[in-house]
A and B are shown apart, each in its own frame.
Chain A
Amino acid sequence: MFRHNALRYAVLALLAAGALFQALTAEYFGLEILTEILILAMLVLALDIVAGFGGMVSLCHGALMGVGAYTYAILSTKAGIAPPVAMAGSIALTGVAAWVIGAICSRSHGIYFIMATLAFGQMAYSYVFEAPIFGGDDGLGGISRLDLSFIGVDLNDSRSFALFCLALLAAIYVASVLILRSGLGRSLSGVMHNEQRMRALGLTVWRVKADVFGLSGMIAGLAGALAAQHILYISPGLLSWTVSGEALVVVILGGLGTLVGPLVGAAAFVVLKHELSAVTTYWHLVVGVILIAVVMSRANGVFGWFESRWGDRIERRMADATRKQQSEEVLTDA
């Protein structure tokens, strides 16, 4: 089950403060980068739920995000449906698609699961690439953002949009924690640790996997709908398997199964990407070498490494402090 510790709360608070500060003070370019981070953060949260807590290493989450983005674009531009409904529709459709993929792949494990999800992701990619309604290689433009003018917010302003994404990310984080703490989330951990035992206990394992995969897909769908509104243009490249691969890289670099770690990873990845591509065109080389180094060091990502070194110590110190405080209170009472 997912638990917060002092370190996680501290890092969360730092991240939230940093994002809020950036959202309120940054100029246009900084806001664009912040929004990119926030959307990637949603995607990696979705991926961490299935990969870190269910052992389902998915290589189709990028494609799921693309499905969300394309559904939103098609519904809002071609079908003329109001943006809020289109957004709800894209989340629902992506969730259903993910549920079906999760149900079909639930029997596969390890490398076969990775390959099966990869196959589904590529299937979506090729379909979007070929079908004329999606605009093929040219992509789709003319996407409009959600209209929140009734509460006095203009999302076409990048600052408002960044704040909007930040609020949604916070909500998604809370929702992820709630999912992982629910009965479903606990069953999922059980399945990850010992599938046979959970089956013997009478659990319908494939349902648990499919349900969590579906919920995770809904988050990815939301990230996709936001990505479409962020750039106002989408192309099939969004569904490419390398996007899923990069999301997985972010989860791993951050710390699998920690929820907080992938958030750190998302921020670090986007900033690193922009900083490096300003200096060199070979930023893939640097990212590749970092990835190899992190995985070979056997640490659970940057946050996981930090946590395993310092998490316990901070926790203990906090516990000591409270105990001291309590004993002092007892003394003063006496």
Chain B
Amino acid sequence: MAHDLGFWTLQALNALQLSMLLFLLSIGLTVIFGLMHFVNLAHGSLYALGAYFAASLAAVGGYWMGFFLAPVAVAGVGVLLYSGLIKRMRKSGPMAQVLVTFGLIFAMLDLTRIFWGDLALGIEVPALLDGRLAFLGVEYPTYRLFIIALGLAIFAALAFVLARTQIGAMIRAGVDNDAMAACLGINVERLFFMVFCFGCALAGLAGAVAAPLLSVTPDMGLQILIPTLIVIVIGGLGSLKGAVSGSLIYGFVQTFGAVLAPQLASVLIYALLAAVLVIKPVGLFPAKG
């Protein structure tokens, strides 16, 4: 290969940036699944919604307003979804849940089209994060570095909360055995609700962060859904470790696959997923053994 070290550093950073974006999405989805055994295919639509909220808010009050308020707005939508649909679907089988959330994808796709139109929206990168940073012998866009840093920060914060705090212990107990956790006096239903809303907020945050990089279109939720599902299935459902390792695997396989074997790049990740499912049907680091 004629490429120098700088080229590979650049690719590694690209891979890391993609991984962190996927991590923000998949952590919410995986904990919702692990805790509630609920398959939320509409998680991608919440991400798209986050991007739209961010775009609209940014047009009013600048990038940072979108960045901070979009997650809150998406969490609000999550509250509506939870009380309207998801609470009633909790006891149904995975198939019914897949279908209801599939219907939700359809509905939300058209709702975003009704409210925001078919045209792609864009957001400007804030002045603070505009430009490039010289880094390890390469120049890299500051905004992408910001995404990497944000992903790592959220990972660290979640790892701390889950491992060291009481609420984290309650969540872990709920994932492990919700009936037993309920017997020990944990209000599991309320815990579910909080985790669900937090997962929605993270999806909204991912949308807001991704908006300046990609154009904001109604089908962006559909496009990100499959990678997110691959991440959580490879990583194993319900665990932080699974979400982060799955994201990293996806990011690096996708990015380096595209460089080394462009013909096979997209097939590669699906083949990897199939291999994982055959060898370890429950993923690499499932929350439960």
Contact = CB atoms under 8 A, between A and B. Distances in A.
A108 B263 CA distance: 29
Interface stretch (A5-13, A160-168, A216-224, A240-248): A240-248
B68 to A, nearest CB: 30
A114 B110 CA distance: 25
A291 B266 contact: no
B156 interface: no
Given A107-B281, A112-B281, A116-B277, A284 B100 contact: no
Interface string B258-276: 0000010111001101100
A123 interface: yes
B94 interface: yes
B25 to A, nearest CB: 16
Contacts of B111: 285
B95 to A, nearest CB: 5
Interface stretch (A66-74, A126-134, A169-177, A190-198): A126-134
Contact of A120 (B33, B89, B230, B270): B270
13 contacts: A107-B278, A115-B229, A115-B277, A119-B230, A119-B233, A119-B270, A120-B270, A126-B267, A130-B267, A248-B99, A284-B110, A288-B104, A291-B102
Given A130-B263, A285-B111, A292 B281 contact: no
A24 B216 CA distance: 48
A333 B89 CA distance: 60
B274 A291 contact: no
A306 B108 CA distance: 29
A105 B266 CA distance: 20
B98 A118 contact: no
Contacts of B277: 104-105, 108, 112, 115-116, 119
Interface of B: 33, 39, 85, 88-89, 92-96, 98-100, 102-111, 113-114, 222, 226, 229-230, 233, 263, 265-267, 270-271, 273-274, 277-278, 281-282
A108 B39 CA distance: 16
B107 A292 contact: yes
A295 B86 CA distance: 12
Given A108-B277, A119-B230, A282-B114, A288 B94 contact: no
B26 to A, nearest CB: 13
A289 interface: yes
A296 interface: yes
B100 A295 contact: yes
A126 B270 contact: yes
Given A241-B226, A242-B222, A115 B102 contact: no
A110 to B, nearest CB: 5
Contacts of B278: 104, 107
Interface in A280-310: 281-282, 284-285, 287-292, 295-296, 298
B103 A289 contact: yes
A86 B89 CA distance: 46
A122 interface: yes
A27 B98 CA distance: 39
A112 B233 contact: yes
B105 A249 contact: no
Which residue of B103, B108, B109, B266 has the most chain A CB atoms within 10 A of its CB atom? B103
A296 B222 contact: no
B99 A252 contact: yes
A291 B39 CA distance: 16
A284 B107 contact: yes
A143 B110 CA distance: 34
Contact of B107 (A108, A248, A289, A296): A289
A32 B92 CA distance: 38
Contacts of A292: 85, 100, 103-104, 107
Contacts of A252: 99
Contacts of A225: none
Nearest to B278: A104
B103 A288 contact: yes
Contact of B106 (A123, A129, A288): A288
Contacts of A130: 263, 265-267
A241 B225 CA distance: 11
A111 interface: yes
Contacts of B89: 296
B266 A126 contact: yes
Contacts of B233: 112, 115, 119
A263 interface: no
A105 B281 CA distance: 9
Contacts of B108: 288
B99 A295 contact: yes
Given A112-B281, A252-B99, A296 B85 contact: yes
A293 B88 CA distance: 12
B263 to A, nearest CB: 6
Nearest to A109: B281
A287 B110 CA distance: 11
Task: Give the interface centre of B85, B88, B226 by most chain A CB atoms within 10 Å.
Answer: B226
Contacts of B92: 298
B99 A108 contact: no
Contacts of A120: 270, 274
A295 B102 CA distance: 11
Nearest to B39: A111
Which of B95, B105, B263 is the most central at the interface, judged by chain A CB atoms within 10 Å of its CB?
A: B95
A170 to B, nearest CB: 29
